[in-house]
Amino acid sequence: MLGKILVGLGIAGFFLGVIEAQSAFQGSHKQIEAGLLILGCPVIALIGLLLWRRDGKKCPHCAERVKRQAIRCKHCGSELKPG
Ligand SMILES: [Zn+2]
């Protein structure tokens, strides 16, 4: 859950940075702020993506992604090892 939020924040922040960079004057502190957003937000999105991936596991029977806590695959109905 946290992963999805971080990915969303990262992408939103990146575009905010791009928009801000276009409206900022050369050398202004707003431009530095925009640069930080453009550089920092992809990192946040990447961390979020890693957390998001960690949130699930792959079903060994059908290779679909299911929740980590699941004991039965929602795609093929196979029994899964908890954890
Ligand atoms: Zn399955």
Distance 80 CA to ligand 1 centre (A): 8
Q: Where are the beta strands (DSSP E) in the chain?
A: 56-58, 65-67
Instruction: State the distance from the centre of ligand 1 to the C-alpha of 56, rounded, in angstroms.
Output: 13
Pseudo-torsion of CA 65, 67, 73, 74, nearest 10°?
-90
DSSP secondary structure letters along 22-75: HHSPTT-HHHHHHHHHHHHHHHHHHHHHHHHHHTEEE-TTT--EEETT-SB-TT
* 63 found inside a domain: no
- Looking at residue 1, its pLDDT comes to 72
Average pLDDT over residues 13-34: 88
Does pLDDT of 26 surpass 80?
Answer: no
Q: Which amino acid belongs to residue 16?
A: L
Residue 35 lies in a domain: yes
The answer to the question of residue 40 being in a domain is: yes
Q: What mean pLDDT is predicted for residues 51-69?
A: 89
**What's the whole-number mean pLDDT along residues 30-43?**
93
Section 19-26 average pLDDT: 84
Total domains, the chain = 1
pLDDT at 72: 95
Q: Is 83 a residue whose pLDDT tops 90? A: no
Beta pairing partners, 79 = 72
Range of the domain at 35: 2-55
Residue 14 domain-assigned (yes or no): yes
In a domain, 49, yes or no: yes
Ligand 1 centre distance from Cα of residue 8 (Å): 28
**Is 15 inside any structural domain?**
yes
In a domain, 79, yes or no: no
